[in-house]
Every structure is written in C-alpha cells, then in structure tokens.
Structure 1
Amino acid sequence: MDDIVQAALKKWPNVPHCYGWLALDARGDWYMRDERIQRAGPFPRVKGSRIDHDKLLGFIARNYDVDERGAWFFQNGPQRVYVELELTPWVWRLQPGGGVTSHTGRSVQVESAWLDEAGHLYLLTDLGFGLVHTQDMALAAEAVEAGRWMPQDCIAAKLPSLHGYQRRPHP
C-alpha cells in the first residue's frame, strides 16, 4: 500500500466505506459506477465508465486488497472503496514462454487450474484465485496440452465460497 495512503488512514481513521462505485470486469478492466449508473442496473449488465487513466490504474493496482470477509477493495486514501467483481478478484494474463501476471501487473506462480461448465479457465496462484483472460486462451491451451496444467472441473457458482471471495460486497 502507498505511503500516502497509510498516512491518510492514520490521519482520518473513521471515513465511511464506499460500496457500488468501483467494479472489475472479467477482462481486468476497472469501471467507475456513479449514482446514475448504479440506478440504471447492476454490474456487469450496466458497467459504467471504464477507467483508462494510467496513473489512476497504477494507484488502484498498488492499493488493491482484500478484507477478512473476502471482500476486495481499493484503499483510496482514508476511504475503502469496495469492488464489485464480474467473476473473480484476479484476471490473469499469460505470457509466451509460460509467465503469468495479474491484471495489476504482479507476476505469479500457478498452483492449479480449474475449468467451469461454460469453459472459463481459472488459475489458483500464490497470489490468489482468478480467471484467465479470454485473449490468452491459446496460450492456456498450450500449457494444458504440454501437461503444465491439469484443469479440475468446477461449477462457477461455487467458486466464491470455495476460494473465499465476495462478488458483491455489502456493509
């Protein structure tokens, strides 16, 4: 977590948490969801405004964390902004040669692979559980065919409880 965020938490320890204003889609993109967007419908049916600003994306990535309930959040100074997840808290990008990184740019080591009833591929890593980005399925198929990953069957609806995360955090 950024030093400036740590200092803000000490200076203003009782700022209320924020829900419904930030979301992460299945492609690793962040979305702002103002009051008008929230009234228009739930995420991901109504996504909101995609965040494209590089410095803001970097700030979110450095301050993205999970609480004891399995609810993921972005610590924005003294305010904790909880994140709605389309599918998982992490979206994995695969690199030629076998490397795997998170949507926040962190390198990870794969522990196991999972395949749901819709054909989505998930990886459990040393950082946590997440979805393989759809654009990287050719590289994922190579890893499976080479025997590096042996996907286990799973049911998508059971993944949040199995891996300890909340898709729709609430107070």
Structure 2
Amino acid sequence: MEDWVRRALQKWPNVPALYGWLRLDRRGRWRIRGEIITRPQIIDTINRNYAADARGRWFFQNGPQRGYVSLDHAPLVLRSDGAGLITHTGLAVTRPQAAYLDADGTLLLATEHGPGALDDHDFDWLLDHLSCADANVDEAALAAALAQPSGTQTPLSLRIGATTLPLFRLDFDAAPQVLGFVRDPQPDA
C-alpha cells in the first residue's frame, strides 16, 4: 500500500467500508458500477492498493475508505508475458503453489500474491505448459481431466519455470473455499 493511504488510515481510522460498487471482471478489468475503468492513473492506483483481509475478502484501499471488490472469477487474473505469468496488477508469479482446472478449462493457481485465474486469451500458453506422463497433452487427455470430479488429482501436470505442479480438478463454486477468497464480500451482520 502507498504511504498516502497509510497516512489517511491513521488520520481517519473509522471510515465505513463500501460494498458492491467495484468489480474485477474475468479479463482483469476494473469496473465501477458496471462500467469499465479506462483511465490508466485510476487503474494504477487501484492495482497498487489492492489487497485481501484476513477473511479472504479483496479490497481497494482508497485513502481511509476500503472498497470491497466483487469478483467474477478469482482475485487475480493471470497473463503470460512471454517469460512467465504476471498478475493483472503487474506482479510476476515466481512461486506457484497449487494448480487447478475447472470444468470450463480455466486454470486456477495459488500464487505468492493470492489466487488467480488464467486469462482465457492465454489458453495456448496453458496447453504448451501441460504435460501428461512427460508427453504433450492431446484433446482426449484434456477432456478426461475435465470430466473428473472436483477435488481429484488429474493425470496432468503444469510446468511453470522450474516448477512442476500436479493439476487438480476444481469446480467454480468450490474455488473460493479451497483457495481462501470471497467472490461477493458483504458487510458484517
């Protein structure tokens, strides 16, 4: 978080949080009340001040006010930058910890920055980094992995840099609990 945000929190510690006005869509675009935010300065500010609380609710700390973010898929959207993966906020993924594939073929990763879903524009990257018993993955192997029940290990693995991770099937609805995040944060009762 930026210094100006920390100073504002010290000066006004009890500003109520906002819910339902900011959303992260499946492509990693910030939306305010449904409209895509396009101004680079605003996007950069949100990206630098985006974090999660202890309960897995992701938020944008806007000075003293916390705006909780509704998530279309996962808290981070991952993209290939040619050398590896980066988050939609610009952070390099260097320590992936677990890999999952949902029923639609979306890759979900537990990373050092939090849980992320691979942008569907990078599906070719995914196919290039999957293997099955040290061989390339064909359509039949991918279809078999997608057909497995949620929570089971597939015969596929994912190579990211020097790391190879087993690939597990995980249903969309189960991802928040398994990966520790909240898709639609709500105020405390």
TM-score (norm 2): 0.79
Letter in 1 for 2:167: P
Two-structure CA RMSD over aligned residues (Å): 1.3
Return the offset for 1:127. Answer: 1.5
1:164 matches 2:149: no
C-alpha separation in 2, matches of 1:68 and 1:124: 16
> Superposed, which structure 2 residues align to 1:1-171 within 5 Å?
1-33=1-33, 48-97=34-83, 99-109=84-94, 110-145=96-131, 148=159, 149-171=165-187
Contact 1:96/1:139, CA 8 A, preserved across alignment:
no
1:151 counterpart SS class: strand
Q: Find the aligned partners of 1:125 and 1:14 in 2 and give their Cα distance.
A: 31
Distance apart, 1:124 and its partner CA: 1.7
In structure 2, the gaps of 5 or more residues are 137-157, 160-164
Q: % of aligned pairs identical?
A: 42
**Which one has a larger percent strand, Structure 1 or Structure 2?**
2
TM normalised by structure 1 equals 0.87
AA partner of residue 14 (structure 1): N
Q: Which amino acid is 1:4 matched to?
A: W
Q: What amino acid is aligned across from residue 37 of structure 2 in structure 1?
A: I
Return the alpha-carbon distance in structure 1 between the equivalents of residues 185 and 98 of structure 2. Answer: 26
Match of 2:148 in 1: none
Residue deviations 1:7-28, cap 9 Å, x none? 1111111111000110001110
Q: Distance in 2 between matches of 1:126 and 1:9?
A: 26
Report deviation, 1:128.
1.6
Bigger-Rg structure (1/2): 2
Aligned to 1:16, the other structure's residue is in SS state coil
1:104 maps to a residue whose letter is: T
| Residue aligned with 2:130, SS | helix
User: Matches of 1:2 and 1:118 in 2, distance apart?
Assistant: 37
Tell me, yes or no, if the aligned pair for 1:95 and 1:139 is still in contact at 8 Å.
no
Q: CA deviation at 1:120?
A: 1.3
Cα deviation for residue 67 of structure 1 reads 0.7
Q: What is the letter of the counterpart of residue 65 of structure 1?
A: A
> Number of aligned pairs?
156
Long gaps (5+) in structure 1: 34-47
AA at the equivalent of 1:9 = L
